Amino acid sequence: MKTSRRNFLQKAALVGAGGMVASASAQTSRLENIFSEVVPENDFSLPPLPYAYDALEPHIDKMTMEIHHTKHHQAYVNNLNKALGEMGKKDTHDSLENICKKISGYNTAVRNNAGGHFNHSLFWTLMKPSGGGSPSGALADAINKSFTSIENFKTSFSDKAKSVFGSGWAWLLVDSNKKLSIGTTPNQDNPLMDISDLKGTPVLGLDVWEHAYYLKYQNKRPDYITAWWNVVNWDEVSRLYSLALK
Ligand code: MN
């Protein structure tokens, strides 16, 4: 029931996009399939965490996960709905991906909170209990090709994440040449945003805001990053990678 409702909404969104932007709407369709759980109906809402708050212990602690999800992510959702309402777009807004892709047409409140909602919705799915290890298959091949080895990739990605000044995110993304690259965005920006210097389809992201780690790791961001590799959900990263290549 819920699935068919979503499918209907996706089709309706494509019809609404019109023929003039056919290639853009084809891309929209693919991204909405990736993040179908956040296709809007009216208000955006907080997606449930796909595991228990304590499931990522000891690497990420229960209280951090609970506050991060129920307070921080919920606030991005609430403030996004509020900001869209103030623009008169509460019930007629675009999908979350398309808002990000056309973010230059919105105000700062939408930019910060659409980014926050998108980034966190993605982030939860990129972790799982008993995760970690190494990727396999086509993703492993592509990482080896772009970064010479999995270990070298992890080191480069970690170094990028450590280098973020203040609050932001580190990303592994598929660029317009279908090549993997890594980079960072400030605040709640992401590589889908048309205003971002870093552009592409994100397949792995790491939140390095202090709220993501301060309760357990205090000022030791490198320790949080090292621990985070133990909960990465490589199956989901591989799935997003294969979708991003289509
Ligand atoms: Mn966060």
pTM: 0.85
Kindly state the average pLDDT of the residues 18-47: 50
Q: Separation of 211 CA from ligand 1 center, angstroms?
A: 6
Tell me, what's the pLDDT at 95?
A: 87
Q: How would you class 140 by CB atoms within 10 Å of its CB: exposed for 0-12, middle for 13-18, buried for 19 or more?
A: middle
pLDDT above 70 covers a percentage of the chain that reads 82
* Domain made up of 137-244: CATH architecture: 3-Layer(bab) Sandwich (3.55)
Tell me, what's the pLDDT at 35?
A: 52
Nearest CA-CA partner of 162 in 184, 180, 147, 181: 184
Nearest CA-CA partner of 206 in 229, 235, 181, 179: 229
Q: Separation of 210 CA from ligand 1 center, angstroms?
A: 8
Q: Separation of 120 CA from ligand 1 center, angstroms?
A: 6
Tens of pLDDT, residues 71-121: 999 999 999 999 998 988 766 678 899 999 999 999 999 999 999 999 999
- 28 pLDDT exceeds 80? no
- Going by pLDDT thresholds of 50, 70 and 90, the confidence category of residue 246 is confident
Q: How far is residue 170's CA from residue 161's CA, in Å, rounded to a whole number?
A: 5
Q: Separation of 72 CA from ligand 1 center, angstroms?
A: 7
Tens of pLDDT, residues 197-224: 999 999 999 999 999 999 999 999 999 9
- 243 pLDDT exceeds 50? yes
Range of lowest pLDDT (17-26, 31-40, 42-51): 17-26
Range of lowest pLDDT (8-22, 40-54, 120-134, 138-152): 8-22
Contact 181, 173 (CB under 8 A): yes
Question: Which residue type, as a one-letter code, is found at position 75?
Answer: A
Q: Separation of 76 CA from ligand 1 center, angstroms?
A: 10
